[in-house]
Each structure stands twice: as structure tokens, then as C-alpha cells.
Chain A
């Protein structure tokens, strides 16, 4: 569709344009060195040039904590609260996070589609932005480059003087209605380079992982892994959740609450009676990596890792998913050379 140009000087006007018509969520500074999606009020606080946000836009469709139902213990009845549609414009989403939304869609909308997720998800419109890969990004290795417009309604590509605007859907065109932009015909800037890479394509990775079940890397990683669950909780494609009942102090009412959970946490597979099916941290690490590069990928043909680098950037023990995977690849290649 049409391509136009948004000068840097008009970016604030553009945000104001969106904000007066829609609820807008965009990246803001959080803490000293981080960014997070928040609802915009001050357009000047929006940061379109950022390396990554702490949590992805996942939090709007699958909230970290959510009440599934309220119950009355006197009558033994439960009611599900009304789920509010998000119905918002997400400004400044990176391509890997949009790829992650698709994966969440797959989980929550195939098989038995979940209402809570769908109600929140269906009104969302996305304005993607390009980014400059930092030392943690490796999205290129899973086929998602910084200019990938898949999933965006409008996409903004960084240009020295502003942003090249691609309108990709009818919804995107509607977002720009009333905000005139000059057309743009120049070629896009050159591809940005990633500094982090996984050195084989996804299809052979599945095969390598298949053969790496007993690889020493799992135990080696377990020595430093603190099993804190951070890697799961920051991952934009992790969707596992736990459900627990809360009861009011008065003892007559309560609610069933769900919250994000993580397969790196020891209690994740615990069943009544106390058996834990992945007791060892090494087994949990392997499960996590296989979840991202094998199990769901075997079923769908898509890697379930989008290369955002969050798990590595946030790991409290400095464990790198790229290092683990490359180690497996290197050892598998060495093995092949020896046997060949």
C-alpha cells in the first residue's frame, strides 16, 4: 500500500493525532535504563527509539494477573467478570513482538478459543517501528528482521530525518485519516546487522535438538541457573499460567485468579502428592529451550522464539539462549565430522 514520510518534527503531532482519537499504548522510560509499554498521556514521553521493552504487549492480552471468576461461598455460585476489550492502538511495537503476538494467538485461539484473550485481542491495532539491533537481539536468526512489517497495520521505518510510513491495512489507513503525510518514494535504508546469531536454520535445529537430549550443556547451565523464572516471565511467547483461589478475610466470598507461570520454576510440574516431573533444573532448562525451538516448532513449522533477547538480557545468572543453542549446533557439527 501507500508509502509516505513522517518528519521527526511532526512525530509529536502524530502522537497527539492518535491520542485524541484512540487509546494509545507506547514505549515509555521505566527505571533508569529500561522501557515499558504504558498508556500515553504526554506525547513527549513516548520513546520510539528503544532497544526493547521489559515486558512485551502480551500483558494487554494476557494480563500478568487476572480474575477468572468471582464466587460466593454462601451460595456456591460463581460469575465471570466482564472482560473489557483493549481496543487500543499500540504504537512503536518491534517486529519480533508482533511475531510473538501471532504465537500467542495460536495458543489461545486454536483448539478451544479462549474468550478472555479474544475479547482483549481483537480490537488491537499495531503501529510497528524498526529498531537497531543491540547486543542481545538475534531475531534475524529466526527470520524476523527489524523492518519486518508482518502483523502491523502501519509500519514506521527509521530514516535519518524521520520515519518512512507504510500503511498496510485498511485499519492502518483509518488511523492516518486526517493526518496528511507527504508521499515517499526513496528506497528504504540498508538492513541493520545483528551481532547475535544462531548458526543454523530452524529446520535443522529441530534435528540437532532431537539428538541433544543428554548433552552436557543442560547440567552445565544448571550450575549457574538460579531457577528464578525470569526468562519465562519476560518472554513474549511464554503463555503458561497458574490458577489459584483467593478468599476474603470474611470467609464468604472470593475469586479465582490466574497469573503468569514459568516452566523454569520447580513447582511447575508438581502434582498432588508432591511428585515433580521435572525436578532437576537441567531438565527444566532443556524443556524451555525445546519449547522455543522444537516442540511447538515441530507442530507448527515456526520457531517459538522470536529473537528478542529478553531472556538473555534479563537472566540473573548471565545465561544466554544463543550460547546454549550455538553450543549444541557446534557439538552436533563436530560429531557429524567425526562420524563422516
Chain B
């Protein structure tokens, strides 16, 4: 490639775990770096640039300043990629949206609350156009690599839109429900190679929901496995609080 794509990486409200997992590509990091110029990345370097071919953005938007910055990043980026559940869906941050914002602010910042303006947590797509998602908490590394390769090759990226159950069955795991646990796999977007259930854990839904989830059905299933209905919806809200606002009748 004559001109390497100029890549920038930004973070908003989140734990920065997605960025850390980018640094964690032990086998592929050099191959990745060979194909792009990283022009901005607070986590790993100090350079600053004005325009980006690809901006990877981690974290949810939760302050007025975030909104300003994301507009700025969007304006300067040809392709904007949301990295991880906070950026894609609002993530666990959005749980705060379930409570009155003033209560949340008082609880977190106490008497200094007026120094910290805060907003309900938003996914990037609530404010700007997002071209691609890399889901997961932290982001799914394999999905990042697939998207990255597609972008460098100049082809479209098809986001997976099937349940975690699909890969879980391909891996011939015993169903989590069979072991008396509950699992959000049936309505959670796959693409993670069911990495939690492969190791005996249940799916907590970190990759967000499939495009047309049967939420009432999922809540019923959870309830039939012993959860109270309220608890069932709370489980679904862990990573999907933003998307589920106003969904439950």
C-alpha cells in the first residue's frame, strides 16, 4: 500500500480495558503496526495529528465535554470505529441512566458534585455516525482483527448478528442452563467464539443484543430457570441498559 492509513485511538468514559487489549496482541501487534501509521494514542504515545483515516474510539459519552470531543473526532475521521461495549452500547455506564441523574451525581461526587457536570451515559452512535463496531467487554480481539483487516483491504465488514449459542454449539459445550446457571447467550450477539461458556462461565451479554432480540422471551426463559422477573430484566440491563430504556412494558 502506497499510503498507510493514519490511525488514531481515543478514549471516553470506560476502563480503558479495550485499549489495553489492543496492546495485548502479542502475535499480531507488529503485523498491525506495519500496515498503519498510528498518529494519536494517549495510552501508548504522545504524537498529535489533525486528520485520521480510521479513529478507534473507546468508552461511553457521559459529560458535555465528551459530546464536544466526539463531534470533533468525527469531523476529523474518515472512518469511526466504536471499540468495546461502552462505546457501542453505552455498556455498564448506562446503568446509571436507570436512576435520576442528580441522585447519581450526588452519590458519586458528594459535596463536590457541582464541579462535575454529568449526563446520562450514551453510546457513540447516539451522537455521531459510527461506521463500525467492535463489541465486547473488553472488546473481542478476533473481531478487532477481522475489522482491521477489512478496513486495510478496503472491503466492507459484516458484523456478526447471531446468538452466542451458535458458536457455543459449534464448540459442543454443555448448555449453561443444563448446569443450573442462567445465561444471556441466546439473545447476545456472537462473534466471541463463546469464550466464556467454553470455560464453564455463563454469558453476561457483554457483546450487546442481536439485532432483533426476543427480550420478553428471554426474560421468560430466565424466570423459568428461577430468576424473579425483575432480576431477569436486571441481568439483561447489565450491558444493555441504554438500548433497553423504555423497552419493558
Contacts and interface: CB of A to CB of B under 8 A. Distances in A.
A55 B169 contact: yes
A223 interface: yes
A259 B191 CA distance: 13
Contact-residue bracket for chain B: 35 or more
A247 B186 contact: no
Tell me whether chain B's interface is mostly helix, strand or loop, or mixed: helix
Contact of B165 (A34, A223, A233): A233
A298 to B, nearest CB: 28
B178 A266 contact: no
B162 A265 contact: yes
A314 B175 contact: yes
B152 interface: yes
Contacts of A249: 28, 31-32, 35, 145, 148-149
Contact of B220 (A30, A247, A317): A317
A160 B73 CA distance: 74
Interface string B207-229: 00011111011101100100000
Interface residues of A, number: 39
B186 A230 contact: yes
Interface centre among B34, B169, B211, B221 (most CB of A within 10 A): B169
Contacts, number: 120
Contacts of A262: 166
B30 to A, nearest CB: 10
A224 interface: yes
A226 B161 contact: no
B224 A31 contact: no
B218 A226 contact: yes
Interface of A: 30-34, 36, 54-55, 59, 64-65, 222-230, 233-234, 246-251, 259-260, 262, 265-267, 281, 314, 316-318
17 contacts: A31-B178, A32-B179, A33-B179, A34-B174, A55-B169, A59-B172, A222-B214, A224-B214, A226-B218, A226-B221, A229-B169, A230-B186, A233-B165, A247-B150, A249-B148, A251-B152, A265-B163
